Amino acid sequence: MKKRFAIVSLIVLMVLSLVAGCTKEPEHAAANGDDEPEAPAVKLVAVGECTFAPFEFVDEETGKPAGFDVDLIQAIAEAANFEVEYKNLDWNSLIAALQTKEADLVVSGMTITDERALEVKFSDPYFESGQAWCVEEDSPIKALDDLSGKTVGVQINTTGDYAAQKLDEKFKEEDKPGLSIKRLERAADVFNELKVGGVDAVISDLPVIQEYLKNNPDSNVIIPEPAFTVEYYGIAMRKQDKDIHGLVNKGLATIKANGKYDELYEKYFGTR
């Protein structure tokens, strides 16, 4: 009996010793600052076309991509615990870069459309925008219908391009002269064409036109009317990358909830 009691006592002492050791170790780690942050889950490559200020542009001082979209995806990455590298590509190569796995995300003021959704998976919407038009201040074009028979500049394969095509169809259905649409590669090219008189008007995203006016106060360009469409931007991803979809939407929801999104919005667009 005494022998059995001694064995039981020894087992109890060993268990208590192990428990004490387990509870003491985290205290020691915390005291010595060994509680390191969780390592990023994955590194992703984001791409955009950096002539679409204020969403993405090349910073003149650093030569690196900058803008609302660049800051946005960095904030999403931090909130969802992944790393991200942002690269500048031509607009027409963005979705192709996803398909060839050169990139994992397109973060480039890309409007969510049914046609694009056939090729990519979009995140939850992160920005509400719309198409507007601008002209020189002394232009006889005062209203949207006055564009009938005129030449408009658009960036090719953008929703500005699609809006111009729909407007052209509308005019023709009403037995009015249609539009002559001049499609250019970059958003900056469109405004330059208006400046030199190559087009009568420009159709583009309202925030982009507003940014151009802010950066070119002597341009005499005006926006005669409010935006004539409503659209939403999303982050494009490969359809099969469900883990990435989850990370991006989680991070986006987090920064909308904690105020970081509002901070970035105010930085680039002012108070909502």
**Which pLDDT band, with edges at 50, 70 and 90, does 36 fall under?**
low
CA angle centred on 227, ends 225 and 233, rounded to 5°: 160
What percentage of the chain carries pLDDT values higher than 70? Answer: 86
**Number of alpha helices (DSSP H) and beta strands (DSSP E) in the chain:** 9, 15
Six-digit token string for 109: 């003021």
Cα–Cα dist 39/57, whole Å = 30
Encode pLDDT of 49-90 as tens digits.
999 999 999 999 999 999 999 999 999 999 999 999 999 999
Q: Which domains are present in the chain? A: 43-128+232-269 (3.40.190.10), 131-229 (3.40.190.10)
Residue with tokens 């919005």: 265
Burial call 32-45: b when 16+ CB within 10 Å, e when fewer: eeeeeeeeeeeebb
Closest C-alpha among 130, 157, 145, 158 to residue 201: 145
Cα–Cα dist 265/272, whole Å = 8
Six-digit token string for 150: 């005129």
Cα–Cα dist 152/16, whole Å = 82
Give the mean pLDDT of the chain.
Answer: 89
Burial tier of 186 (Cβ tally within 10 Å: 0-12, 13-18, 19+): middle
Per-residue model confidence (pLDDT) at position 7:
41
Contact at 8 Å (CB) between 82 and 245? no
Radius of gyration of the chain (CA): 27
Residue 249 DSSP code:
H
Using CA atoms of 160, 163, 164, 170 in order, give the dihedral in degrees to the nearest 10.
-170
Burial tier of 233 (Cβ tally within 10 Å: 0-12, 13-18, 19+): buried
